[in-house]
A and B are shown apart, each in its own frame.
Chain A
Amino acid sequence: MTTLAISPTFTDKSDRLWRRMLVNPRLLAGAVALLLVLGSCIATLPWTARDLPPQLDEDGFPLNIHNPFYYDGQDMEHSWNPPSTKHLIDWFGRDELGRPMLSRCLLGGCISLAIGTAAAAIAVVLGVGVGLFSGFRGGWIDGVLMRGVDIMYGLPYILLVILFKVAFEDPLMNLLHSARIANLVVLFLAIGLVSWLTMARVVRGQVLSLKTLPFVEAARATGVPEWRILLRHMLPNLIGPIIVYATLTIPQAILWESFLSFLGIGIAAPMPTWGSLAADGLTPGLNPLEPRWWALLFPCILLVVTLLSLNFLGDGLRDLLDPKREASKI
């Protein structure tokens, strides 16, 4: 009986799917650009995130010696050094405190993408849970849950995200004993909690149409328990739309984080994200007398390239996996 549960769309067409994926230029460009950015951000993590152990001079004072690629290695002698191709570390120039923009951009990318991924993961768990349950049960449960989702679509999210962030940061800090981790976790949660609505709607719609298909009826008729039908029979058929909307949630979350950082309630200094780097680079970067363009340009380019490639990837995957939904295609 389990053979009936095998999804009709994925197994037998998968090699054609790969071939179509390779000829879709947007999808391919998005995937390649994303892999490049993601790869270089993660591969350099050991250099950008880790400093040398603190060293003391003979009087016991801490020496200002850092791993040259450390993201927070301050060096006032190199304050606002413009980009040069002589040393790898100076490729993106230095910021006001002489910290290498290259390291900050790379580590910022890791944190931005981590926030996006974590928010998408929360959106997947919540959205799929609510959508599955609501669509499968139907009746008044469906009515209540979907009216709830409708209502939440109209809420002023930004207010709730800001409130949530401010309200739960201190309690979380006491719980986790680390201001930085609390700051990150509360950002994940605040952004994730507002991005699951579309996912819930899409999953519910899919479930409603899957529910009537013979293989589900058959499973039910043979006495398969409900949770098993949901997990083994429904979920594999929902993977396509879930991947698509998760991919589209990541750029949204990264943008949210950049807004929060700009408003001064995002990531806590000195940790960088692309959003906070761009926000910090605005004033020096657009200064009409002495423009330090590198402080603004590099984080913005990385941010724009990543957001675009994620959107391309999501749209391309949607064309492949979910051809009926084209309405909001960018």
Chain B
Amino acid sequence: MIRFISYRLLQFPLVLAIIYLVTFMLCWVAPGDPFVRTDRNISQEVKDALRTKYHAQHWYTFLAWYPVNAIRHGDLGPSLTNASASVNDIIRQRLPISVEIGVVALVIATIGGVFIGTLAAVRRDGPLDWISLMVALAGISIPSFVAASVLIAVFAVRFKLFPADGWQPHRFSDMVLPALALSLMPMAYLTRLTRVSMIDILGSDYVRTARAKGLSRTKVIWKHALRNALLPVLSYLGPAAATTLVGSFVIEKVFNIPGLGDTFVNSVQNRDQTLILGSVMVESMLLLAMNLLVDIGYGFLDPRIEV
């Protein structure tokens, strides 16, 4: 276990370095040097000063200096299009919002998916099995921006159950609809995954033994069978985090939430290279950490796995 974790931790910086290089290549070399901007009139002196400050006399000096500075001082540079804010400020403000919604969505997806999936497996071909099928079909076929907009139109505008006046910080009711819309796609996969592996497990010998011993149905299902059925579910949580990230870009735009996804899309369109680099690195780190946690959890849940 310790070997596995240290191996993965050693891999971590390597992966981050690759992501950094690819991002740098895509956002600097292809559309041009960010310090030669055509949309803003900056005098030559200011440009030179900026270049010297960010070691950007050449692209390779910036390439080498930026990560070193980020690691040594934790400074991701100034936003190139937003004069008043640094990348650190922007990420510090917006990342918590995205993470909050993403975590709530993942929790809804996991609990909902496991619950519906288990019940669907227990009562196969019953009404709950049909509901699970519907959830799965909706999740994989309805684009999340459509689902989110319909949720707003129905629950916020028509029935006025939730505020429709835009995002306010620290208001829980603002988070319900975005999190629900975001959880739809991962929930679809988790429901079907739980159902299939639960059906598998419910047919196994040890479940029959447990029932024959006189354990109650509820206990066998929720304790003995579910524990083993959860393994494939857990292994999907890593990709589910990635799916949630993808969804969050769209959802943040639909609900007008000032999160990191929205910031990233804007920064790409404005060619704000330091903000792009900063947000890609932060998001990648989050995602990689999530995958690592899932792998470690997998090792703990299933002692048979050689990690």
Chain A interfacial positions (CB closer than 8 Å to B): 147, 151, 153-160, 162-164, 166-168, 170-171, 251, 255, 258-259, 262-265, 275, 278-279, 282, 286, 288, 296, 300, 303-304, 307-308, 311, 326-330
Contacts and interface: CB of A to CB of B under 8 A. Distances in A.
Closest 7 CB pairs of A and B: A167-B30, A307-B141, A163-B26, A286-B153, A154-B291, A167-B26, A158-B246
Interface of B: 11, 15, 18-19, 22-23, 26-27, 30-31, 136-137, 140-146, 149-150, 152-153, 157-158, 188-189, 192-193, 196-197, 232, 238-239, 242, 245-246, 249-250, 253, 264-265, 268-269, 276, 279-280, 283-284, 287-288, 291
Nearest to B292: A154
Given A156-B242, A300-B146, 4 more contacts: A163-B268, A163-B276, A278-B146, A330-B189
B146 A282 contact: yes
Contacts of B157: 286, 288
A151 B137 contact: no
Given A265-B269, A288-B158, A303-B143, A170 B283 contact: no
Contacts of B19: 155
B27 A163 contact: yes
A307 B142 CA distance: 9
B191 to A, nearest CB: 9
29 contacts: A151-B15, A154-B288, A155-B242, A159-B23, A159-B280, A160-B23, A163-B27, A166-B31, A167-B31, A168-B30, A170-B30, A171-B30, A251-B140, A255-B143, A259-B144, A259-B250, A262-B143, A286-B152, A296-B146, A300-B146, A303-B141, A304-B142, A311-B141, A326-B196, A327-B193, A328-B189, A328-B196, A329-B196, A330-B189
Contacts of B268: 162-163, 166, 265
Contacts of A162: 264-265, 268
Contacts of A147: 11
A157 B242 contact: yes
A255 B268 CA distance: 21
B-side interface mostly: helix
Contacts of B249: 158, 259, 263
A167 B268 CA distance: 9
Contact of B287 (A156, A251, A255, A303): A156
A300 B146 CA distance: 8
B250 A154 contact: no
A286 B30 contact: no
A208 to B, nearest CB: 18
A46 to B, nearest CB: 29
B265 A311 contact: no
A263 B265 contact: yes
Contacts of B22: 160
Nearest to B290: A154
Contact of A308 (B141, B143, B246, B250): B141
Contacts, number: 130
Contacts of B30: 167-168, 170-171
A327 B196 contact: yes
Contacts of B23: 159-160, 163
B197 A327 contact: yes
A263 B193 CA distance: 30
Contact of A156 (B18, B141, B250, B283): B283
A155 B288 CA distance: 8
Contacts of A311: 140-141
Nearest to A151: B15
A311 B185 CA distance: 14
A264 B253 CA distance: 11
Nearest to B283: A156
A24 B238 CA distance: 33
B137 A330 contact: yes
Contacts of B276: 163
Contacts of B145: 258-259, 262, 278-279, 282
A234 B11 CA distance: 33
Nearest to A306: B141
Contacts of A300: 142, 146
B150 to A, nearest CB: 7
A318 to B, nearest CB: 13
A164 B26 CA distance: 6
